[in-house]
Structure 1
Amino acid sequence: MAKVITMAEAAELFADGDIILSASFGMVWPEEVGQAIEKRFLETGHPRDMVHLHAAGCIPADCFAHEGMLKWDISSHESTTPKMAKLIEEDKLPGWYMPLGTMLQMWREQGRGMPGAMSKVGLGTFMDERVDAGCLNPSAKKITEELTAQNKQFIKYIPDFDGEEYLYYRGLPYTKGLIRATTADENGNVTAENEVYNLELSTVARAVKANGGKVIVQVERLAKAGSLDPKLVKVGRNLVDYVVVIEHPENLVHGLWPHGKQNINYWYGLNGRIKVPIGDSLKPMPLDPKKVMVRRACMEAQAGWMCNFGIGLPTFCGSVMAEEGVMDDITMISESGSVGGVPGGGPDFGCHWNVQASVDQGEHFDWFDGTGLDFGVFGLSEAQEDGSINTSFLNGITLGVGGFANITAGANTALFIGTFTAKGLEETIEDGKLVIKQEGKLKKFVKKCLQLTFDANLAAKNGQKLLYITERCVFERTLEGMVLIEIAPGVDLQKDILDQMEFAPIIPAGGPRLMPAEIFQPVWGNGGLKAVWDAKVK
């Protein structure tokens, strides 16, 4: 039977050197427990030298970003915790990245008594042992060298397992598990009816218990023993040691984003309790270079497909599809486990209004890795000569891997969209043409990236369709290399494209064709996107 404790008592459970495993995504994390631990550390200097592992980014976890509080940080994404990222960038905290989905699979294997998991995800990227083994700074590299000498490194390259190569991801002996849910009964059975994600609650709990650790659950409320619907229980009493009820429900993160607390209907529309009218949330985008890129990307999809849209510019694909009347013809999916409905953006990333299914995040990534996604659109941060992508380290800033590595590795069609250059770029669409008023100072198509989170060579070898869509041109990665297949009307090939790259793409005989003229018009002509999709069926 789990013990019900206060928030202060929960903070006292954590000891120097603890290895904490927590379930996270965006704003959803046991924030009150985290704040209580932070308060104790600031007052007493303890607990210190802890290790924190979490798969997805978790904004509230910046409460751990104090020198000495953590010894190591292992995650897939820290750009949402800027204080933590700064400690890593300044080499004050050894940090490592692993693919989000692969971390979940590693924990699942640990829950059944195995030390880790093998995966093809991460091969050829900076997470490969042959490259940087996921290290984010010099101190992490030094520790990895020491662990490698003991054959205990976190990520190990397996050159031949039944004739194929893999990466082996090794877990740690967790001493504490930290998860957030909605309701716990007096015995410790836990439900998650008010949460916007299912996440990896039971996976984290099993991995911790298998290593002899203790599991602490933060909940909104306590229920009488045996009163919960057993079919709704996400974590059983056999996996829970302590239950702590929040003490400040007025601050509970129910849409409590930086721009202010949302009303409860907003939150219920995201957690599936009610279906809400979408209203103006998908209002048409203005005609600008961003809309041109999103339109061009949407042309590559087709009715009946399962589609994933990454954070940033790709999230606008839903707006264009809604404007063109085809949004109901596809199923939108987010890495968080949300299936169907309409994805949110910004701090709502991973949430879906009117979600149709909310599945365990780890099982969702099993599907990404096994079956594969029909169609994925991702941000174009930086691409090198062979089309490989860097999302994790740009301009000296630690960003993240997240689910990008898993999803891109398994997507049948993977699109990367973004402006051709960055920093200071000014452009408009005028009379059906792209007008570049001021060129960006930073090139995004470079000879070689500092880090790689997507290996285009491996993807091309596996037969994936890869397109790189910018406002001024489109590249396709083939087995031969990066081919410039389209150019925007109004663009000068030499001045606006070739001179703004650090490598020479392959140019087909006769030159690249023009990007579709109709996507540069206020109203999409020739029948719009629906006509494009219908033509594919015929």
Structure 2
Amino acid sequence: MRVSERIGLVGRILWWRLNWERRDLDYRPPGTLDPRFMTAREAAALVPDGACCLSSGMAGNARCSTLLWAIRERFEREGHPRGLTWIAVGGQGGRGRAPGSVEEVGLPGLLERFVSGHVETTKAMLAMADAGRLELHVMPQGEMCFALEAQGQGGDAIESRTGVGTFLDPRCGRGSPVTPGAQLQLIEPAGDKLRYRLPKLQVAVLAAPWADAEGNVYFHDAATITEMREAARAARANGGRVLVTVAGIIPADPARISLPAELVDAIAVNPRQEQTILSPQQGFLPLFTPDGDGDDAAAIEKLRFINRFLKLTPVRGPIECALARLGAHVFAQAVQPPAGVNIGVGFGEEVCRELYQSPLRPDLTFTTETGVYGGLPAPGIYFGAAVHPERLESSAWVFRHYQDHLDATVLGFLEVDATGNVNVSRRGPRFMDYVGPGGLPSITASARTCLFVGTFMQGAKWALEDGRMVLQQAGRPKLVDTVSEVTFSGREALKAGKQVWYVTTVGAFRLGADGLVLEIVMPGLDVERDIRPHCGLRFALPEDGPQVAPASVLTGENYRLTWGTGAGG
């Protein structure tokens, strides 16, 4: 990247940081427009007390900031609306730091109940839960999308095998409630399945790029679509309201209309609205759209620079890079081409980068749960978007696509136990430590091969010496006898005939009928000296002992992936 480009990106970042709290809630575009066009404050006045609301978007993509600010301001000024139930399918928080996220409505009295797939970033809601002032629920993102879709079609609930045998299953777990004494249970047993439902949606709060003067809404030039269509149809079917914030008004184009005017009640124009974090919609980044310039290398370098500059994502050192290469090595051995692949946040992104830059790339189609299809899933703060996707679909579409076409998923983990169960949802005992299941239960229910990638110990220190992995200081085991919470059931995965791998700093374990088997070990490590004493679960070895990973996995030298054999070198 040229110096001038770096300076330009730094300027964009500084401008964004200095202006991220600026807002004009009374802005009304000039000209003769459909009556649906109103100020953000006027739109916020349409939200009744006790309503069930939903905001769209995920992470830094398509945030509904101006409407969220207006709803919060109205409550602080008038005490209304109050007692809301709020639904956010994907993670939409600002970690208690960035303004304009769904945390704007995280106030006692304003919010009574919060339902989401991923709650780790919504620190305001978690603090309320810790204080006993919020009823907190979690559900798998796929089933949330399907339940919204069902409401739009006049239904009430959907049935699914997703979540059976996990904490989501009331027969062996708590179901949807995270906080005690919850008024609702949104997940119920239904034979060998689970029945999922959402509260009846009454207000959909959406962020789209554009509208025309007649009140039609357009999604083109967005970075993600998520659940906007499903939410609008659900709110309308329930007799509710649809509030949309857009960045500007464009000429009508009947062929490109995404939400017809009859599905919309209010449109608030916010000229400063973002396409994604750091990128105003009116100066949107084409690299996140199907119509981009296709220069993947330049786009990836740009996003890496932004992530490194902001220091909001972990810095990956040589050990973490070796772990990502091992994950790609196992993927190349375990998965058959051509393959549809879902990529999760964290180490999943690092494995994806190795695969994307490898000779395997032509046989791979990457996706994420936001509905982006093809391209390279964007890293770090841009997770949920993709670099030069083939197309953008809704979240419901992609989760349904997964049911028949998902060959593999690469995800992270917090804990793994002796029966292959995985915990990604609970970091610790407090509600402030809670993460939620995200899309993992829905994704792993569909995937034929599941790869979980993470460090072997928390806080351990490793070194690479002469092409060998060396343990310098042990840490806290992440492979344990029993996980704190079962987000993924190893037993159910085996019953479904899935292939499951756990790729760690010390090597790769495969899930067998009797538990974990250490199939691959990193060069330089001794099983009895370096692995077994620091593992909190019993694992088996193959009859001939584990394979030693190729030296190139550690060093990166002569690292080249081949289907069926993995890495050479």
Question: TM-score, normalized by length of structure 2?
Answer: 0.84
Q: Give the equivalent residue in structure 1 for 2:447.
A: 411
- 1:84 paired residue number: 125
Aligned to 2:190: 158
> Which residue is 1:218 aligned to?
245
SS in structure 2 of the partner of residue 168 of structure 1: strand
> Where do residues 175-324 of structure 1 align in structure 2 (5 Å cutoff)?
175-223=202-250, 227-246=251-270, 249-250=271-272, 252-257=273-278, 267-279=285-297, 282=300, 288-299=318-329, 300-301=331-332, 302-324=336-358
Aligned positions of 1:457-536 closer than 5 A: 457-524=491-558, 528-530=560-562
Tell me if the contact between 1:308 and 1:376 (Cα under 8 Å) persists in the aligned partners. yes
**Alignment CA distance shift 1:176-1:263 (3 Å):** closer
8 A contact 1:133–1:155 mirrored in 2: yes
User: Kindly tell me: are residues 508 and 54 of structure 1, through their superposed partners in 2, closer, same or farther at Cα, counting changes over 3 Å?
Assistant: same
262 and 209 in structure 1: CA distance in 2 versus 1, 3 angstrom threshold: closer
Which residue of the other structure, out of 178, 194, 202, is the alignment partner of 1:136? 178
Letter in 1 for 2:206: I
How big is each residue's C-alpha offset from its partner over 1:13-35, in whole Å with a ceiling of 9 and x where there is no partner?
22221111232211223110001
The equivalent residue for 1:150 is: none
Partner SS state of residue 394, structure 1: coil
Q: Is residue 342 of structure 1 aligned with residue 369 of structure 2?
A: no
8 Å CA contact 1:389, 1:455 repeated in 2: yes
- State the match for 2:161 in structure 1: 120
Per the TM alignment, residue 49 of structure 1 is displaced from its structure 2 partner at its CA by 1.2
- The AA in structure 2 aligned to 1:82 is K
Aligned with residue 168 of structure 1, among 195, 202, 205 = 195
Please tell me whether the aligned partners of residues 419 and 514 of structure 2 are also in contact (alpha carbons under 8 angstroms): no
Q: Is the 8 A contact 1:287 1:522 kept in 2?
A: no
- SS of residue matched to 1:8: helix
Q: Which deviates further from its counterpart, 68-77 or 35-44?
A: 35-44
Query: How far apart are 1:381 and its partner, in Å?
Result: 1.6
2:81 aligned residue (43, 47, 60): 47
Per-residue CA distance 1:346-370 (angstroms, 9 max, x = gap): 12111111111111211111111x2
Give the secondary-structure state (helix, strand or coil) at the position aligned to 2:562. helix
Q: Is the 8 A contact 2:137 2:178 kept in 1?
A: yes
Deviation digits for residues 478-531 of structure 1, max 9, x if unmatched? 222211222222223234322222221123334333233331233135xx2137
User: Structure 2 vs 1, CA of residues 439 and 203 (structure 1 numbering), >3 Å: closer, same or farther?
Assistant: same
Measure, in 1, the Cα distance between the counterparts of 2:397 and 2:280: 30
Distance 1:498 1:381 in 2: 19
Q: Which amino acid aligns with 2:455?
A: T
Matches of 1:274 and 1:294, distance apart in 2: 28
1:386 is aligned to 2:438? no
In structure 2, the residue matched to 1:420 is 456
Instruction: Tell me if the contact between 1:461 and 1:479 (Cα under 8 Å) persists in the aligned partners.
Output: no
Moved more, 191-200 or 323-332: 323-332
The C-alpha deviation readout for 1:108-161, integer Å capped at 9, x for no partner, is 111111111111111111111221112212143xx24xxxxxxxx3111112xx
| Equivalent in the alignment of 1:437 | 472
TM-superposed CA distance for 1:451, in Å, is 1.6
Question: Using the alignment, how far apart are the partners of 2:282 and 2:457 within structure 1?
Answer: 41
Change (3 A) 1:70 1:286: closer
TM-score by length of 1: 0.88
Task: After TM superposition, give the deviation of residue 182 of structure 1 in Å.
Answer: 1.9
Distance, in Å, in 2 between the alignment partners of 1:430 and 1:91 is 51
Which AA in structure 1 matches 2:460?
L
- Per-residue deviation at 1:534? 8.8
Amino acid at match of 1:115: D
Deviations along 1:240-280, whole A, 9 cap, x unmatched? Answer: 1122212xx23x223434xxx58977722112342252335
Which of 395, 403, 406 lines up with 1:361 in the alignment?
A: 395
Q: Which residue of 2 aligns with 1:62?
A: 103
CA distance, structure 1, for counterparts of residue 376 and residue 552 of structure 2 = 26
Supply the distance in 2 between the matched residues of 1:50 and 1:360 (Cα, whole angstroms): 26
Greater Cα shift, 15-24 or 52-61: 15-24
- Tell me the alpha carbon deviations over residues 426-468 of structure 1, each in whole angstroms, 9 at most, x when there is no partner: 212221211122222x221112222221111111111111000
- What is the CA–CA distance in structure 2 between the aligned matches of 1:288 and 1:309, rounded to whole Å? 22
Paired residues of 2:56 and 2:226 also in contact (CA < 8 A)? yes
Give the direction of change, closer, same or farther, for the CA distance of 1:206–1:255 in structure 2 (3 Å limit).
Answer: closer
Q: Write the letter of the residue equivalent to 1:217.
A: V
Structure-2 change in CA distance of 1:219 and 1:286 (3 Å):
closer
Matched, 1:105 2:146: yes
Note if contact 2:520-2:546 (Cα within 8 Å) is conserved in structure 1: yes
| 1:149 aligned partner | none
Change in Cα spacing, 1:90 to 1:398, as seen in structure 2 (3 Å) is farther
Deviation at 1:186, TM superposition (A): 3.7
Query: Does the alignment pair 1:75 with 2:105?
Result: no
* 2:470–2:524 CA contact under 8 A, matched in 1: yes
The residue type equivalent to 1:366 in the other structure is R
CA distance in 2, matches of 1:282, 1:353: 7
Give the root-mean-square deviation of aligned CA atoms.
2.4
Task: Tell me the CA shift for residue 87 of structure 1.
Answer: 2.3
Distance 1:318 1:186, change over 3 A: same
Cα 1:71–1:220 shift into 2, 3 Å: same
Secondary structure of 1:105's partner?
Answer: helix
The CA deviation at 1:323 is 4.4
Q: Which runs of 5+ in 2 are unaligned?
A: 1-33, 94-100, 305-314
Q: Residue 333 of structure 1 contacts residue 339 of structure 1 at CA under 8 Å; is this kept in 2?
A: yes
Distance in 1 between the 2:383 and 2:463 partners?
28
Percent identity between matched residues is: 28
Distance in 1 separating the partners of 2:40 and 2:116: 25
**Contact 2:454 2:505 survives alignment (8 Å):** yes
